[in-house]
Structure 1
């Protein structure tokens, strides 16, 4: 038993060292540009459904695009008023964006009855697409980033954003030179592997992969801590264990 325990300790140490080495290697090889992405100075529109989506799911993308010198805009389609906390959550969103480097002047929060924060309500695809396209054209956007068909958590408001972006892309309505990236949804096991999902993410990466450095992980966690009204015990565990607080894999439409 003592020998077996010692072997397990050695295996755990080697595994831990291996992942720390992989992370350090990734940090050293971060390229100033990623194939297929617009270059420095480009304008990117991140499209989310609720306040806290930007920190819970897209922090690696936001901070990764900052490395590429993108100017990031945020369009949030609801105030997150499911529990009548809309006004609080709007303030929390602006605080989170400040931590992530998105100025308040680049943040738009839609707060109307057409797009309620409610997983039981399916937002109208044409309405979402119309609002989204107006913002793309108004800000001269080069890249739109949002959820994929799985919406990470399967939330209907998340998937509604994907449907709208997919429709605009399929119908050729996005302006010339404007592309769209969607955040890859992964299975439940991978979702909570934290940094241990890095080898799988590296292996399966198709179009864009953003991995946070140690300093950036702390920055992402500070952004999430701004959403005080949402930090129930299970979300605190999410911050510690979710790969989305450290890794984002994205696909072009």
Structure 2
């Protein structure tokens, strides 16, 4: 469901037919591996754990084999390579629950609102997703299950099918941008050793001088709470997008 863009890895760059076989469990199963308990599911789980802990750059077949306590060649009996494994990882992390309440109270607005928050939570759990170019995703069962559930909830909007898809893309694109900003802020704090408050405090003397110069009258007149870190910019933006969609639906219905 999510279409984050990055640069270090690209979805769909492996053997597409083999990846689809693995995603939909239509391919030939390997003979019993040399290590009891080694399965494709366990390999994918281990890969996600490595990426969650150390980033997508740490992902390699050798590293996963080490995590599982087996030889690298054993993994190739289950998955052709890293590219195909990445697509399995992408589908795995998109698994949704079967609880209808996860998409709100039944209205299309509640469904899109819940979708936005769910996508943000997904990127918080798996920050490495922001480093994967998913512009050409391989669609597996988890991705299609999620799409099916959301589309079923927002059908009552009364929009055309391309417009319904665009509404989902709109929410996804907004959340990806917000998630990336949050991640970059956290990375900057870790790499610099300065908290956000310390960073802005270091700039305060220069900024106060600039505000007193008369060159920036609009900025200087902003209220003291303008940059309050407690203001939820994500929620504000999400609600305004939904307001816009609601107004559009109302116009379409009236027309």
When normalised by structure 1's length, the TM-score is: 0.24
More strand by share: 1
* Higher share of residues assigned helix: 2
Which has more radius of gyration? 2
TM-score norm. by structure 2 comes to 0.24
